[in-house]
Structure 1
Amino acid sequence: MIKTKTLRFLLENTLFVWLGLAFILWIGGDSVILPEWIQVLGRSHPLILHFPIVLILFGVLFFWIPKIDQKPDLKEFGELSLLAGVNFAGITVIAGLVLAQEDYEGNALEWHQNAGLLVFLGGVLIYFLRNQSKKILQPSSLALALGIVLTGHWGADLTHGENFLLAPLMDEEPELIALSEAEVFRDVVQPILNTKCVSCHKEGKIKGELRLDHIEGIQAGGETGPFVTAGDLANSLMVERINLPLEAKEHMPPKNKPQLTEEEKSILMDWVIAGAKFDQKLMDIEPESELFVLASQKFETETPFEFAAADPDDIEELNNFFRKVEPIYPGSPALVVSYFGISAFDPSSLSDLNKIRQQVIQLNLNKMPLQNVDLSIIRDLENLQELQVNFTDLNSSQLDLISQNSSLKSLSISGNSVDSDGLQALSKMIQLEELFVWQTGLSDQNEKKLMVALPDTEIDFGFDSQSVVYELNSPKIESDKDMFGDSTLISISHPIATAEIRYTLNGDLPDSLASQRYQGPFWVNKSAEIKARAFASEWKGSPESSIIVFRAGNPPKELRLLTEPNPNYFGKGNITLIDQVKGKNNHTSGEWLGYQDQNAEFEIILNENQKPREITISMLYHEGAYIFPPTQVQIWISDGGTWNRVVNEIPDQSTQILPSRFEALTYTLPKQDFSRVKVQVNRITSLPKWHPGAGSKGWVFIDEISLLN
C-alpha cells in the first residue's frame, strides 16, 4: 500500500504535468492535431467536472475550521482532498480545452475557458500556500468558490442556453401575443428552434458551422447546405435532418435530446412550403392552411378590438346570396362584409349594416353599381379599416362622404374617375396607410399633388403595362360548406376587378376560351373539384386555385372498421367516416382516421332499399407530413354471399411536396342489388427517393365516405 507521503508527492508533481499540458493547449490548441482517442477524453469533460468541484469545495472548507492546526489528522485529510480535487480539475481543464476544438466558439466559451483555467491555477496556488495565514487563505478560498460557481454558470450557458443557472430567478411572465399581431417566424417557428435546436447551434457552440440563434445564421446555412430553401423541402437541410430515423447519426435533434413533436415538425415544414419568410404575419396566411390552424392555437384569440361581438342572429340574417358577413378570423368580433352579384345588388341593403356598425372593419363593394347611392353608412362604420370600392362609378360627393370616416387605413378606388373635387376629398385622408387609385384619370400633376398631400401614405397609381407583362394572382374560391346536403353556394373573387375568371368543376385546368366564365355566385349539387384562373388583357393568366366540395349523400346503416387506425389519429372511430363532418385541412384536428402500419379496410352495411350508384372517399394529402395518395383502392360488393370486386384502381402518385389539401376519390358502383360494400385503401409502405424521408412508411388519412343513389 502506497504511503500517504508518497501519494502526496506523486499528486503534487502531477499538478505540474497538468499545468504544462493546459498551457500548451490554451496557447496553441488550434494548431495541434489531436488523435481520436484524445477527442474521446475531451468529450468526457461534462462527465468528470462534477468530481473536482466537490473535492475542491470540500478541501477549502477545512480552512474555516477553528484551530485546524491543532488537529493534524483532520488537516491532512483536508489537504489531500484539495490536492486530489485540483488534480482532477487539471484533467477537466485539459479535457475542456480538447472539447473546445469541436464546433465551439464565441464569448461564452472564452469566459468559461478562462474561468476554468483560473480556478485550476487558483487551486494550485492555494494548495502550495496552505500553510500561510488564515487572513490570506480564507478570502482566497472564497474567491475560489465564487470562481467555481461562475465557471459552472458559463458552462451551463454553453450546454443548456443563456442564463440557464439563473433562469428560475429571472423567470418572467410570458408576453401574451394577440393572434392579429403574431408573426410566423418570430412567434411560431423561432420558439421551436430555441427549445429543440439552439443549444447545439449558437454562439459558443456551432455544430456543423450552423447558427440558429439569429436570422443571419439561419439564412447562411451550415457546412453541408442551406438550412432552409424557400418553398423547397427537398433542398432544406432542416427538413432532411428532422425526418431522418431517430437512430440515424445525423437525425436532429440528437436522440439523447428532447425530440420534435409531430405538430412541431408540421409547423416547420409548412413554414418552408409557405416560403420560409422571416417577417410574415400569421394573419397573412390562408386561414384554411394547416400552418394557420396549428399556429393560431398558440395565441390569444382575444383581439386588440375593444368592441363586443355582434349578435350571431344578426350575422346569420345578414348573410344571403348577395352578401357575405364573416369574422376576420375564427373567434374574432371584427367582421368582413363582401357584396357580390351586380344584378342582385339593392342599394337600400347597405342600411342593414347598421346592426353591425361597430364590428365591420373591412367592406368590399367592388363592381357594385354605386352611382348616386347614399353612402352615409360608410361614414358611420365606426371601426372600418379597409374599404374596396373599385369600378363602382363613384362621384366626388361620395368620395367626400367616405373621407369623413377617420378610421380608414386602406382605400381602393381604382376604376373610378377622380376630378378636382374628388382629389380634394382624398387629400384630406391623412390617416390612410395605403391608397389604390389605378385607372382614375389622374394627371401626372395631380398625382404629385396627392403625394404631397399624403406624405405618409403608400399610394399605388398602377403602372404602364406596355413593355412588361405581369402574371395575375390566383382567384379566391369560397364555398358555404365543404360538405353539403343538397347544394352549396360557390363564389369566386379576384382583387383586380377587371380580371375575367374562368372555372371548371371536374378538376381540369381552366383556359381563357373554352372554360365556363364566372359571372356571379353559383350553386353546386354534387361533389366537385373546382378550379379557377384569372385572365386579363396585357396580363399573363394566373396560376390555378382550387377547392373540393363534398356532397354528404345517404348515411348507411353501419360502418365497421376491419383494421384499426393509428391510436394518435383515431377520430371518433368508425363513426368518423359517416358522421357527415368534414375534417379540417389539418391531420391533427381530430376528424381524421390515419393509417401507417396497415392498410385502411372497412365494411359498409347498407340500409334496406338503399341502392348507391356512386361512392366517394374523402382523403387528405400532405407529402410534407408523409401523407400520400393511396397506392391502390379496391372495392367489393356483396348481397350476403360472395364478395365481388368492382373497383381496382391505382391512383396517381405524388412527384413533389405540395401544401396540405383535400382530395375526393369517386367511383361508380354497378347497377345491381347488394347490401354490403367493402373498401380497402392501401398506404404507401416506403416513401420515394425524392422525399426527405425516403424509405420511411407513409400514411393515408380518410375522414368521410359518401354514398349517392
Structure 2
Amino acid sequence: MKLKSIAGSILFAANLFLLLLLVFGNRIAEPAWLQVIGRMHPLLLHFPIVILLMAFLWEWLPLRADPAHRSLYQSVDTLLLLTGSLTAVITAIMGMLLSLQGGYEGHTVQWHKWTGVAIAFLSYGYYNYRQMQPAFTLVNKISGPLIAVCLVVAGHFGAGITHGSGFLWQPIEASRKKAPVPFEKAVVFDDLVKPVLEAKCMSCHNRDKAKGRLVMETAKRLLKGGKHGKLFVAGKPELSLLLKRIHLPLEDDDHMPPEGKPALTDAEMDLLYWWIKSGAPMDQKVAALPAKDSLRILAMDFLKPPHEAPESYDFAAADEKQVQQLSNNYRVITPLAEGSPALSVDFYNKNAYTPKSVEELKPLEEQIVSLNLSKMPVKDADLKVISRFPNLRTLNLNFTDITGKGLKALDGLKHLHSLSVSGTKVDYASMARLKTLPALKEVYAWSTALKEADVARLRKQLEKISFETGYRDTAHQVLPLSPPLVTQAGIFSDSVQIQLRHVVSGVHIRYTLDGTEPDSLQSPVYKTPFVIRENTVLKARAFKTGWRGSNPVRAQYLKSAYRPDSIILLSAPDGQYSGKGGLVLADKELGDMNYGNGQWVGYHGGDMQVLLLFHEPVTLHTVALNFLDHIPRAIFPPSLVEVWGGTDRDHMKLMGKTSPVMPDKDTPPAPLLVTTEADGAVRCIRIVARPLKQLPAWHAAKGQPAWLLASEVLLN
C-alpha cells in the first residue's frame, strides 16, 4: 500500500508538471539534460499503449464476475491502470520536452500533442475514478474505448511525424500505378527533382517535422533553406550544402539522409547535381532543355515507363562450362537475370576485338539476347555474323565503324526490339531498311548523318518505331562502370586465392567478405590477391572518378575439407531431377538457379536419404547441404535434416539435426546452405532430409507436398 501511495503521488505531480509545460512551455529555456530526457520519448511511448490496452481488456474479462477472485481482479486492475497512467504522463512530458527543441510544427504535431495529453489526463482521471468506484459501470464501458481511440489517433499522427504524412496509407497508394509523365510534358522540378526529395528527404523535412527548420514540400520553401542557410547555389554544385551533405561519409552525423533512412542512389545524386548545375530550374519543361544537356539525358531514364514483367524464353540454358570458357577479360558473358537461360554479352578493349571474337560465340547463339559492341571496330561485313543469333533482342553498335549498308543483314532477327547506332555513319536510306524488322520498337541514333527532315520522314513511315536522335554530352555525362571480374566461385578443400580485376584502367575495386553491399567509402580497397579459408560470400564494386559505381558482383566460396570415397542414394530421386545420381552431391559444382541443368537431385513427398562412405576415419565438426529455395515453383528447404554417423552402416548414432526456418511468400529464389553440427570420428554417414509435407495456406498449391532439391554436401 505504501508503494501504491508513493506511485499515486508521483502520478499527481507528473500530471501537474505536464499542465505547467502546456501553459508555460514556450517560456522555458530547456537545459541539455532535459533535452536528453525529451529525446527518450520514442523509447517509452509503446509502454502506455500496451499497458493501458491490457487494463481495459482485463476489465472485460469474466474473472471480474467471480466473487472468489474479486480481490485478485481489483489488485491487477489497479496495478495495470496505475502503471499505464504513470507511463502515459511520463511519455507525454518527454514528448513536450522534445517538441521544445525545434523542428516540430504543423497540424500533425499539434494533433499528436493534444491526443497524447488527452491520454495522460484521461487515464489519470479514470484511475482515480476506479479507486472510488470498484464496480463495473457505464463509465467503464465508455472510458476504456475512448482512451483506446486516443491511443490509435496519437499513434497514427506520431507515425506521420516520424515517417512522413500519409505513412499509414502509403502501401495502398503505392499499389495504385500512376501513369508515367510523357517526356514532352514533364516539368524539371515537379516530375524529376521533387519525387526524389519526397522519397528520401521529406519524412524529416516537411511542414510537420522541419528538422533544421528546413521544409522541402514546395519550391518556395526549398529555396528558403533552413537554419544553416540556403540549401544550394544555382549553377554552383560545388558550393551547395545539399550535395555536400549527401556525399559525406556514412558515419558522419551530418550525412543525409541519416543512418537508418533510405539512401540516395547514384542516379538520384547525379540528378540533383545536374539539376543544380543547370541553374536549378523549377518551372522549366524537360523537353525545353538543350539537346546536349546532361539533365535532359538523365531525365530520359527517370521518365521511362515502368518495366514490364520479365520476358520468358522457350530455349534451354547454355552449358555453364561453355559460358565460362568463352568469357575472358575483353568479352564478358552474364545471365540476363538470375535463373534465366538468356545471356548478355559485353565487349571491352577494341584492340583485342576481331570479327572472330563474335564468331566464337556460335555455341551460345541460341541463348544470346543482348549484344553490346559499343566502340568496337565493327564493320558492315560483321553484321552477317551477328544475324546468326536468332533470339537477339538488344543490339548496341554505338560508335562502331558501320556505315549502315550492312544493316540489311539483320533482317533475320525476328525478335530484335532495340537497336543503337549512335556515333556511326548511318543515313536515311540505311534507316529506312529497318521496316523489315517486325519486332523493332526503338532506335537510338545520336550524332549520325541523319537530318531533322530525315528523322521526320522516318517517324512518319515507321510509326511503330521510336527514334531517339538527341545528343549525349560525352564530355560530362556520368557513365556506369561494368562490374569487376572475380575468381570463379565454387567449392575449395583448404584455401582459395581471390583475384579481382577490371577491364577499365584506373579503376579501384572495393569489396566485402560478409555478404554486405560494398560502398565507395568504408569497404576495403582491393590491392593484391588474398586467400580465404572459410565459407565466404564476396561482393565487389568498381569505382572511378567521373564514373558511376558499378553494380555489385557476388561470388560464394564454400569449404569442404573431405570428399567421401563412395556416395549411395538410399532413396531414389524423382526422375526429372536425378542429376548424376549421388555424384552430384560431391562433384564440387554448386547448383544454380537453373535447376534443370542436372546439378540437382530432387524429391517430392518422400525423404532424401544419402549414405557417405570413407576408407579411413574422418573427424567431422559440421555437415552442410546446399538446397534450393524457389517459392513460386514449390521448392522449399527441408523441414528437418538429420546426420547419423558411425564406424559402418549398421552401427550409427544420431550426431546432429536441424530444422531450417521456412521462407515466406516474399522470399526471393536462391540456393540455401543448411548446416548441422556433427562432432565425431566416423567412416560412415547417413543424411536424412525430410521435405515439407504440406505447402502453407498462402501458397498457390497449398496442402500439396513441397519439392526438395539438393546439390552438394560439404564436410568440415
Q: TM-score, normalised by structure 1?
A: 0.46
User: Higher RCO, 1 or 2 (CA under 8 Å, sep at least 6)?
Assistant: 1
In our comparison, the structure showing a higher alpha carbon Rg is 1
Q: TM-score, normalised by structure 2?
A: 0.46
